[in-house]
Chain A
Amino acid sequence: MPGGAERILRRRIGSVKNTKKITRAMELIAATRVARAQQRARAARPYSEQLTGVIEDLAAAGADVDHPLLRQAEKVERVAFVICAGDRGLAGGYNSGVIRAAEAEIQALRAAGGDYKIIAVGRKVNDYFTYRGFAIDTTFSGFTDNPSYENAREIARRVRDLFDSGEVDQVELIFTEFISMGTQTPAVRRFLPLESTETIAKSGGGDAEAVAGYSFEPSPEGVLEDLLPRYVEARLFAALLDAAASEHANRQRAMKAATENAEDLIVKLSREMNRARQESITTEIMEIVSGAESLGADQQDARTDLLIDHLNPDHLIAEHVHP
């Protein structure tokens, strides 16, 4: 049917153009959100640096307590995994990268006879592991693209509950590290128990100009006791911010690729459509030409009485019109 293929292609081009508009808009939105997430990560840095600075001062003062958060289990059998990915898809390999890393860790633990607990951060994590029949301890979602400190605190509470009560011996944090605009990689970090204060102090980040001779109130141990939970929250918050920046960067890249694909597709479909149109025009011309030819051929035929001018009895009409 002439024109049918062309109409279908025209409709497809229209829908690809619409998709392109959407992916383009998502790309631009993601780009501004990466910038904002990075800005927030920068804004959070002074706090964690100061916190680490205080730990340095405490380490210098020789404070080391038997704090539950520092307690090393003799045998690690039960491990909680805090898995941070996104609530939404359309972000390239962002979610699957984290989930794959997490699943590998969990399988390795199970193979070694250990028991796992999953703390899912982001709906995609929950969906994946629920679907696969893993037991989920707690799910936190609805904030992965723009986490607040309050979110970090809520997660930290659950993690500390598990750890303090001895339900788990160790906590692993799995998230995507934002290394640069172009590079984000899934990372697995030991989260709890914390390293000793000396190790934290040595890993730096704080203002190195530790002043000796601090006096502490209530006591070095008392300060440390209050400080370590804050340190846990701050680390979790930093991970959430990194994850958010990574999610947006991945989404921006994915949407950029989708926009480019849509452009390619539009070009390809336009060519196909032009060809289809040309073909239908050619077919029509062919039909007219062959029709005319067959008319010409018919004139030399014996059955000339069937031709129009023979069937149009002019002389009869004229008789009626002009009596």
Chain B
Amino acid sequence: MSFAVEFVSPESLLYSGESTQVVARTRGGGEIAFLTGHEPFIGSLLASEVRVTEVSGDIASFAVRSGFVSVTGTSVTVLSDEATLVDDIDVAVAKADLDAALEALKANEDDKFAAQDKQWAELKLRLASSD
């Protein structure tokens, strides 16, 4: 049994396909896996990895900056302002982002936006290296 998965971002439809299992990490809830027939669910995502098991058995792995996962019995939609396939992560860009964020944090420790940028850059670097 499979269901439809979509990754929607403001710039484009990032991914669309059939899947048998999606694993995401929600704020406060830890990792959660969705199978066909999951109860209707809306969760707020942390900067984390989302893994989609395709019908063929391959796993597509995404880095998600923040966003939401909306689940009905027949579909899973991941809404994210910024998400990317782990294979597509540009390590050089992520490193530059991390440096910029650290610089900003040095100037102002309470800069919560820079803290988010730092977290996101670190996540991308971690996922890209573990790949």
A interface residues (Cβ-Cβ under 8 A, vs B):
40, 43-44, 46-48, 50-51, 53-54, 57-58, 148-149, 152-153, 157, 211-218, 222-223, 226-227, 230, 233-234, 237
Binding site for A on B (CB under 8 A): 8-13, 26-29, 32, 39-44, 66-68, 70, 72, 77, 79, 81-82, 113
Closest to A237 in B: B10
In the complex, which of the residues A43, A213, A237 has the most CB atoms of chain B within 10 Å of its own CB atom?
A43
Shortest Cβ distance from B4 into chain A, in angstroms?
13
Q: Which B residue sits closest to A218, measured CB to CB?
A: B28
CB distance from B47 to the nearest CB of A (A): 12
Q: Which residues of chain A are near B72, meaning CB under 8 Å? A: 211
B40 touches A230 (CB 8 A): no
Within the complex, what minimum Cβ distance (angstroms) separates A42 from chain B? Answer: 10
User: Complex: how many Å from CA A227 to CA B26?
Assistant: 13
**Smallest CB gap from B27: residue in A:** A218
Cβ-neighbour of B8 out of A47, A58, A211 (below 8 A): A47
- Taking a contact as CB atoms under 8 Å apart, the answer to whether B81 and A233 are in contact is yes
| Cβ contact within 8 Å between B10 and A226 | no
- Considering the complex of A and B, which 3 residue pairs feature the smallest CB-CB distances, nearest first? A218-B28, A217-B43, A226-B44
Neighbouring A residues of B40 by C-beta, 8 Å: 211-215
24 contacts between A and B (CB under 8 A): A46-B13, A47-B79, A51-B68, A53-B70, A54-B79, A57-B42, A57-B70, A149-B10, A149-B81, A149-B82, A157-B113, A214-B42, A215-B41, A215-B42, A216-B41, A216-B43, A217-B29, A222-B28, A222-B44, A223-B43, A223-B68, A227-B44, A233-B10, A233-B81
Contacts of B39 in A (CB 8 A): 213, 215
Given contacts A50-B77, A230-B81, contact A43 B29 (CB under 8 A): no
